[in-house]
Amino acid sequence: MLTNVAVLTFDGVAPFELGILCEAFGIDRTADGVPAIDFAVCAEDDRPMRTSMGFTLQAAHGLDRVAQADLVGIPAIPRGGLPSEEVLQAIRDAYDRGARLLSVCSGAFALGAAGLLDGRECTTHWMYTEQLQRQFPEAEVIPEVLYVDSGQVVTGAGSAAGLDAALHIWRQEYGAAVANVIARRAVVPPYRDGGQAQYIARAVPDCDADTLRPLLTWILENLGEDHSVEALAKRALMSPRTFARRFREETGTTPHHWVTRQRVAAAEELLERTEQPVEWIAGEVGFGNAATLRHHFVRVRGVSPQSYRRQFAC
């Protein structure tokens, strides 16, 4: 049962992500029926540490306090940097004795540097997922989710998703009623549908394509047309086999996958900026009907078109 939480801090720590962990576990909510947590912010020494926003803070506890914790929180680390070896060793020691670890945003890089992501599903902010995968190739990075619970290690995505991960832990430990109290106090939903894919800005279509760039532009301007491999190959004056190979070489993916992503992106814009019904949008972007649009939209963005519109409509 979760009763003791230690949160690590270090030079360059991101104060917002540190604050999320303090909000989730450090506030006394016993008057509202939330179990008491022995909470501490810990550092390797008592010197003032500069945060990523330029001001300094000073932790009241050393790394010896981490050895008592059931859960160790790791806020976002400086971009391109890592905590000291002493802090990384404290993370390893906590893991070895069975404590759970919770990282927020780029805090996942500290887990990777401690050797705790190999062979493990994990995530981080969508801006850093590719970097995390490159830096720790044995990790199984899942880019599109808000958090990943791989048992002893929980990794939250960008900033606020750390609160989603923390509420998940509260829910596991003490049930939905307790998690709901904490969510209500923080004025956030107790559970968010979908994943962080819904917050990723629309990708610019591949600009490195050489021979196929005019065709890609035409596809974007005519998403409602037939974009089968055969039809596109004919327009490109190639055989279907040659076209499919060339398309993958120049875009890194298949024609079907690329076209589907562009159709979803176009549907997003129409959902945000118009009040047109979903059925009309489906036809406009080439999906044909609302059911097909919903199928692909949920696969790519993790939420339904209606949910996306409710959250992002202008």
Dist CA 220 CA 227 (whole Å): 11
Give residues with Cβ within 8 angstroms of 309, minimum separation 6. 271, 272
pLDDT of residue 42: 98
Q: What is the pLDDT of residue 103?
A: 98
Tokens 């609160």 belong to 163
| pLDDT for the residue numbered 207 | 43
Answering whether pTM is above 0.85, one says: no
Q: How far apart are CA 110 and CA 112, in angstroms?
A: 5
State which fold the 4-196 domain adopts.
Rossmann fold (3.40.50)
Would you call 44 exposed, middle or buried from its count of C-beta atoms within 10 A (0-12, 13-18, 19+)?
buried
CATH architecture of the domain 213-312 equals Orthogonal Bundle (1.10)
Q: How far apart are CA 132 and CA 78, in angstroms?
A: 14
Q: What is the pLDDT of residues 61-112, one digit of tens each?
A: 999 999 999 999 999 998 888 999 999 999 999 999 999 999 999 999 999 9
Structural domain boundaries in the chain:
4-196, 213-312
Contact 42, 126 (CB under 8 A): no
Question: What is the pLDDT, as a whole number, of residue 208?
Answer: 55
**Residue ranges of the chain whose pLDDT lies below 50:** 203-204, 206-207
Is residue 228 within 8 A of residue 219, CB to CB? The reply is no
Distance of CA 295 to the CA centre of its chain: 21
Greatest extent of the chain over all pairs of C-alpha atoms, in Å: 72
| Distance from C-alpha of 25 to C-alpha of 106, rounded to nearest angstrom | 19
3-state per-residue secondary structure call for 19-70? HHHHHHHCCCCHHHCCCCCEEEEECCCCCCEECCCCCEECCCECHHHHHHCC
Say if CB 248 and CB 254 are below 8 A apart: yes
